[in-house]
């Protein structure tokens, strides 16, 4: 299927996934930090781990888009 | 305060509208504008010379080994791909065929096999960053030999970072046996960090955005995990604890697959984050050239420039955060995987 720019659409879709995922992670982390401020450090660490894993998956999509277009 | 804010909003809206009208003037001419993609890809890719600015570039040595002969010459002999190098019975040239998979690479015309061990831009940049690392970390470690009461200077700057990596990343994830892996994990952390940061400087090479480099780094993690895994780890691959027997046909392929996808994800995550950051920065700067159509419409170029530079500054600050974060995440996930591999059975 030769559609110009479909690779860019694919990259944009995977960015939507990353945005939703990391937004939810950040939101839940902030909620948890508000409920228990004394554990902020641990919550922040785990937030970064989860965000990096979600972003890794989204970047698979970006890499495939880069290879295609 | 409110008056200045509303004045600011109105002036920025006026600027935006005037810029958009300049764009509209260009579109009616119905010709291909400036395409920034080749320039952007050239900047993030590896090359045989170190291009600094304009037409100033440092040629780097090309080292080829073919059938027992070492052919070493400077990459400037290629004359930007126009000349062929004839040494003995071997003819080397840069492949200009757009459809071939070896496009822009060195090929040998008589189809002889050769090994390419050249000092490319990425290799030269890695040598520089390694020397920088040896100097900085060497100076820090020599400070401890002198046994002064309080660290000062470079030592006091690096000590919290090193302690943070050792305590929060290595010790807390690997547990009692962390001594063996501290060296590798600290090295990988500082190597990725300094190459990420150096890649953001002007004229730098995109080292950690090169998939071969990240492949080797994740290969190190994979080898360390495989060779230090104890029996519990392999047993968990065959029979994850707590799964009902009916699920085993699905779990075993997934677990075996997982052994390879975890280092693969480490490689892709670092490569894509750094390369994507560089592409965003280059694209936003190219906005100026797209708006001015590569020098034809100077007014449009100058009016887009402040907006473009502001965006680039914002992205640059994010990229500095990403540089630290990606080094931290790579080290953290490597420590977590090693910790899983050497974990003692807790009954």
pLDDT tens digit sequence for B271-305: 999 999 999 999 999 888 888 887 788 888 888 89
Q: Is B34 in contact with B46 (CB distance < 8 Å)?
A: no
Shared domain for B109 and B132, answered yes or no, is no
Judge whether B273 is closer than 8 Å to chain A, CB to CB. yes
Nearest one of B265, B269, B281, B279 to B326, comparing CA atoms: B269
- At B318-334, the pLDDT tens digits run 999 999 999 999 999 99
The reported pLDDT for the residue numbered B194 is 95
Indicate whether B232 belongs to any domain.
Answer: yes
* Interface contacts (A, B; CB < 8 Å): 35
A68 touches chain B (CB under 8 A): no
Q: Which of B65-74, B171-180, B255-264, B305-314 has the highest mean pLDDT?
A: B305-314
> Is the pLDDT higher at B197 or at B236?
B197
Give the residue on B whose Cα is nearest the Cα of A51: B329
| B43 domain-assigned | no
What's the average model confidence in pLDDT over B59-76?
A: 84
**A residues 3..62 contacting B (CB < 8 A):** 45, 48-49, 52-53, 55-57, 59-60, 62
Of B171 and B15, the structure prediction assigns the larger pLDDT to: B171
**Total structural domains within chain B:** 2
Q: Do B245 and B333 fall within a single domain? A: yes
Together in a domain, B242 and B292: yes
Judged by CB atoms closer than 8 Å, whether chains meet at A55 and B265 is answered as: no
Region of B244 on the Ramachandran plot (φ > 0 left; ψ -120 to 50 alpha; else beta):
beta
- Max mean pLDDT among A19-33, B65-79, B252-266, B288-302 falls in A19-33
∠ CA B193-B198-B200, rounded to 5°: 105
Cβ distance B168 to A60 less than 8 Å, yes or no, reads no
Kindly state the average pLDDT of the residues B24-48.
Answer: 72
Mutate to test the interface with B, among A52, A60, A65, A66 (most CBs of B within 10 A): A52
Across A5-14, B24-33, B72-81, B251-260, least confident range: B24-33
Residues B101 and B168 in one domain: no
Contact across the interface for B329 and A48, Cβ inside 8 Å: yes
> Domain total for chain A?
1
Question: Where do we find the tokens 């892996």?
Answer: B181
Q: Do B268 and A60 touch (CB under 8 A)?
A: yes
Give the least confident one: B8-12, B43-47, B61-65, B223-227. B8-12
Among chain A residues, CA nearest to B326: A52
Report yes or no on whether pTM surpasses 0.90: no
For residue B72, the enclosing domain spans 61-116
How are beta strands B90-94 and B106-108 bridged, if at all? Answer: antiparallel
**Domain assignment present for B224:** yes
Q: How far is the alpha carbon of B1 from chain A, nearest alpha carbon, in Å?
A: 31
Asked, for residue B14, whether it belongs to a domain, the answer is no
Does residue B32 carry a pLDDT above 80?
no
> Does the beta carbon of B318 lie under 8 angstroms from any beta carbon of chain A?
no
Q: Which residues of chain A have pLDDT under 70?
A: 1
Q: Are residues B313 and B182 in the same domain?
A: yes
The SS3 of residue A48 is helix
Cα separation of B308 and B312, whole Å?
A: 6
Structural domain for A25, as ranges: 17-68
| Residues facing residue B87 across a β-bridge | B90
Residue B247 resides in a domain = yes
Residue A25 covered by a domain: yes
Q: Between chains, do B329 and A49 touch, taking CB under 8 Å as contact? A: yes
Residue B105 confidence (pLDDT) above 50: yes
Q: Which residue of A has its CA nearest to B263?
A: A56
Of B272, B326, B333, the CB nearest to A63: B272
Q: Is residue A48 one of the residues assigned to a domain?
A: yes
| Whether the predicted interface score ipTM is above 0.90 | no
Of B119, B108, B94, the closest CA to residue B66 belongs to B108
Whether residue B51 lies inside any domain: the answer is: no
Is B223 within a domain?
A: yes
- How close does chain A come to B10, measured CA to CA in Å? 31
CA nearest to A50 within chain B: B329
Q: Report residue B295 as tokens.
A: 């020098």
Residue B133 lies in a domain: yes
* Same domain? B162 vs B77: no
> B97 in contact with A at a CB cutoff of 8 Å?
no
Assign residue B242 a region (left: φ > 0; alpha: ψ between -120 and 50; beta: otherwise). left
Confidence at B223, pLDDT banded by 50, 70, 90: very high
State which of B91, B116, B141 marks the end of a domain. B116
B160 and B242: one domain? yes
Q: What is the mean pLDDT of residues B164-180?
A: 89
């Amino acid at each position: 299927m030769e559609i110009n720019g479909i690779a860019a659409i694919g990259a944009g879709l995977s960015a939507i996934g990353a945005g939703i995922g990391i937004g939810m992670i950040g939101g839940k982390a902030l909620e948890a930090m508000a409920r228990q401020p004394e554990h902020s450090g641990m919550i922040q660490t785990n937030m970064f781990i989860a965000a990096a894993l979600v972003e890794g998956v989204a970047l698979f999509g970006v890499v495939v888009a880069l290879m295609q277009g | 305060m409110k008056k200045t804010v509303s004045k600011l909003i109105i002036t920025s809206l006026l600027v935006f509208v005037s810029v958009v009208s300049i764009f509209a003037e260009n579109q009616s001419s119905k010709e291909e504008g400036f395409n920034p993609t080749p320039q952007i890809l050239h900047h993030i890719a590896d090359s045989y010379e170190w291009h600094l600015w304009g037409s100033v570039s440092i040629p780097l040595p090309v080292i080829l080994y073919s059938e027992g002969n070492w052919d070493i010459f400077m990459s400037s002999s290629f004359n930007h791909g126009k000349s062929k190098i004839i040494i003995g019975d071997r003819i080397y040239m840069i492949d200009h065929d757009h459809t071939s998979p070896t496009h822009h690479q060195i090929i040998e015309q008589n189809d002889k096999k050769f090994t390419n061990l050249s000092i490319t831009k990425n290799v030269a940049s890695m040598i520089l960053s390694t020397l920088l690392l040896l100097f900085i970390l060497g100076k820090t470690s020599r400070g401890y030999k002198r046994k002064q009461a309080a660290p000062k200077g470079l030592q006091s700057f690096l000590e919290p970072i090193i302690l943070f990596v050792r305590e929060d990343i290595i010790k807390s994830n690997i547990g009692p046996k962390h001594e063996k892996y501290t060296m590798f994990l600290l090295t990988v952390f500082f190597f990725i960090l300094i190459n990420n940061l150096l890649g953001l400087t002007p004229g730098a090479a995109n080292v950690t955005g090169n998939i071969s480099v990240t492949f080797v780094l994740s290969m190190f993690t994979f080898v360390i995990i495989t060779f230090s895994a104890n029996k519990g780890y392999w047993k968990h691959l065959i029979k994850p604890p707590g799964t009902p027997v009916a699920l085993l046909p699905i779990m075993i392929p997934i677990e075996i697959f997982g052994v390879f996808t975890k280092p693969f994800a480490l490689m892709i995550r670092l490569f894509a984050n750094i390369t994507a950051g560089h592409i965003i920065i280059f694209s936003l700067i190219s906005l100026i050239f797209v708006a001015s159509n590569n020098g034809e419409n100077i007014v449009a170029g100058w009016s887009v420039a402040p907006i473009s530079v502001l965006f680039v500054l914002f992205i640059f600050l994010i990229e500095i955060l990403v540089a630290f974060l990606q080094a931290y995440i790579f080290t953290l996930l490597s420590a977590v995987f090693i910790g899983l591999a050497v974990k003692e059975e807790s009954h």
